[in-house]
Amino acid sequence: MLKNCSKADLKVIATELGLAFDKKATIVQLIDLIQKSNYYKKDIEFVEGLVNSTIEERKHLEEIALEKAKAEQGQMNLEQIKLERVKAELELARLRSESNSENKNENSGENDKKESIESLDSLIKSIRTLTVKLPNRPEGFSYFFSSLERAFISKNVPEKFKAEILLNLLGEKASNVITYIKDDELGDYSKVKAIVLREFEPTPQVSLENFRKTQRAEYFYELLKPGQISFHDTNLRLQNSVFGYIVSGSLLAKGEAEIHCGLITNNSELEKTLKEFWEIENIERESEISVTKEAEICEEHFLKNYSRTETGKFMVKMPFKEDPSCLGE
């Protein structure tokens, strides 16, 4: 019970139990002190509950501290990204200044061939326009990066700006990524891309479900056979398959409102059948049934002398027309 406790846990438990101990006491001494206490000997369940609650509280505080550390690390990474962006802006300004000074010494024909250096903001806007929308599903990131890298080639984006542009395109999702990026990797596009793909890649369960859907789609077309039947004034279709014809489609609302009425005449046999169906049959009443004197005696004898066995069978004494003494001994 006390083996899973840290030294801090044992001190908290001893304090809650009102036990005096030296601040420099070891774990073994604290365990021995708790086990020799009256609470431990008389109410071990109470001590066990106190131990569990102390451990849970400590783990909860550790989780809170871990989340706080992650948040602080994420904030530091965001500040680092902002700093890198400022550095990139300064680098672009320097390149622009050098380009302008070089253009002054070159003729007009060479000036027409040189491309102007765009600012980082304009680069981001241009790349965003040329790139597909950020996917919501993990399997869409492959196409997203293919589109992004084509835009990089089209706009001649320098390698050192690619990672910065990617993080800007990720928007809110960047916070999930920058936690795993080291400071020296913020400018490395290939490493940032690898972390993004790893973070948003489909789980094994999602991949298995996608595979099953693909398999079902392939099997579906293998079940179909040539032959289809259409119905007039409806969207119903009968598609031939290895199981027979499969019904698909829907009925038109117009067909549901149509009312049909039919009339049959000169069919005497049908009229006779319907008439007999609704006539009440005359059943002969018991009073009209003739019963002999002998039958009445047998019925009365049965009611007075019958019984049932455990198996459910009926037992009845045999009636005599004359006195039983006539049978002799």
Cβ within 8 Å of residue 301, ≥6 positions away: 316, 317, 319
- Is the pLDDT reported for residue 249 higher than 70? yes
Q: What is the pLDDT of residue 214?
A: 61
- Is the pLDDT reported for residue 159 higher than 80? yes
224 against 214, higher pLDDT: 224
Report the C-alpha gap between 128 and 166 in whole angstroms. 10
Q: What is the pLDDT of residue 224?
A: 72
Average pLDDT of the residues in 238-261: 68
- Is the pLDDT reported for residue 138 higher than 50? yes
Average pLDDT of the residues in 192-220: 67
- Is the pLDDT reported for residue 311 higher than 80? yes
Say how many CA atoms lie within 13 Å of 102 toward its Cβ: 11
Residue with tokens 């070891």: 26
291 against 208, higher pLDDT: 291
Q: Render pLDDT for 32-89 as a digit per residue (tens, 0 to 9).
A: 877 788 777 777 788 778 778 887 888 888 888 888 888 777 777 777 787 777 777 7
- Is the pLDDT reported for residue 1 higher than 50? yes
Closest CA to 173 of 141, 148, 149, 203: 141
Average pLDDT of the residues in 1-10: 76
Looking at residue 4, its amino acid is N
Say how many CA atoms lie within 13 Å of 135 toward its Cβ: 17
Q: What is the pLDDT of residue 278?
A: 76
Q: What is the pLDDT of residue 140?
A: 77
Q: How many CB atoms lie within 10 A of CB 85?
A: 16
Name the pLDDT band for 251 (thresholds 50, 70, 90): low
- Specify the pTM: 0.31
Stated as kind and residue range, the H or E segment containing 226 is strand 224-230
Spans of all domains in the chain? 1-97, 131-206, 220-248, 293-322
- Is the pLDDT reported for residue 161 higher than 50? yes
**Alpha helices per DSSP H over the chain:** 7-16, 27-35, 38-42, 44-104, 108-113, 120-130, 141-155, 159-170, 174-178, 189-200, 204-223, 253-257, 268-278, 293-305
129 against 234, higher pLDDT: 129
Query: Which DSSP string corresponds to 192-207?
Result: HHHHHHHHHSPPHHHH
Cβ within 8 Å of residue 160, ≥6 positions away: 88, 91, 187
Report the C-alpha gap between 81 and 215 in whole angstroms. 44
Cβ within 8 Å of residue 85, ≥6 positions away: 120, 164
| Cβ(171)–Cβ(144) below 8 Å | no
